[in-house]
Homo-oligomer: A and B are copies of this chain.
Amino acid sequence: MYYTVSEVAKRLELSPHTIRFYSKEGLLDFVERDQNGNRIFKESDFERLFIIASLKRSGMSIKQIREFTILCDKGDSTIADRLKIIMDQRETVEEEITKLQDALDVLKYKTWLYEVALEAGTTAVHDNMPPEKIPPNIRKIKERIRKLTDDMEQRYKAAAQHTDNDE
């Protein structure tokens, strides 16, 4: 049973253009062709296609995926190298998730700010907000922002001090 570019594209939720682009970039060299040069995808190709799509979704660049597929084609001698690539990408993705969760905390902070401001009719409601009226997770972000400014001042004072010593 063979499948065409369009069928595979639908299944991987990519456009046929994108599949051909990946092919041109050397990601699909394992896919056979018929006598007219048309790509013929087999069931046995699906695990690899799925892995390539997953690596892409994980944020891996096409260049990196190509390097990986080259190793795959070289056979058993490259298993350790492939394992390293996968484990490095695991770390990259974990870092990316942490970054996004961090950004999510800030979005939650802003949501609270705007919900309170919407009810009050003005963002000025936050100007003299007593700390006990601020939820703990929101206070945490406020603290981070305050720290950003404080560190800045600290840096400035240290530089000024340094200048004093030089004089």
Q: A residues bordering B, Cβ < 8 Å?
A: 1, 3, 7, 11, 43, 46-47, 50-51, 54-55, 57-59, 76, 79-80, 82-83, 86-87, 89-90, 93-94, 96-97, 99-104, 106-108, 110-111, 114-115, 117-118, 121-124, 144-145, 148-149, 151-153, 155-156
* CB-contact partner of A76 in B43, B107, B121, B156, under 8 A: B121
Do B76 and A145 have beta carbons less than 8 Å apart?
no
Do B114 and A90 have beta carbons less than 8 Å apart?
no
Which residues from B are CB-within-8-Å of A151? 11
A145 to B43, CA, bound (A): 10
Which residues from B are CB-within-8-Å of A149? 43, 46
A80 to B89, CA, bound (A): 39
* CB-contact partner of A152 in B46, B124, B144, B156, under 8 A: B46
A103 to B50, CA, bound (A): 11
Q: List 13 A-B contacts (CB under 8 A).
A: A7-B155, A43-B149, A57-B99, A57-B102, A57-B103, A58-B100, A59-B100, A76-B121, A76-B124, A79-B118, A86-B107, A90-B108, A97-B100
* CB-contact partner of A89 in B3, B7, B107, under 8 A: B107
**In the complex, residue of chain B having the shortest beta-carbon distance to the beta carbon of A142:** B47
Do B114 and A3 have beta carbons less than 8 Å apart?
no
Known: A100-B100, A149-B43. A156 touches B1 (CB 8 A): yes
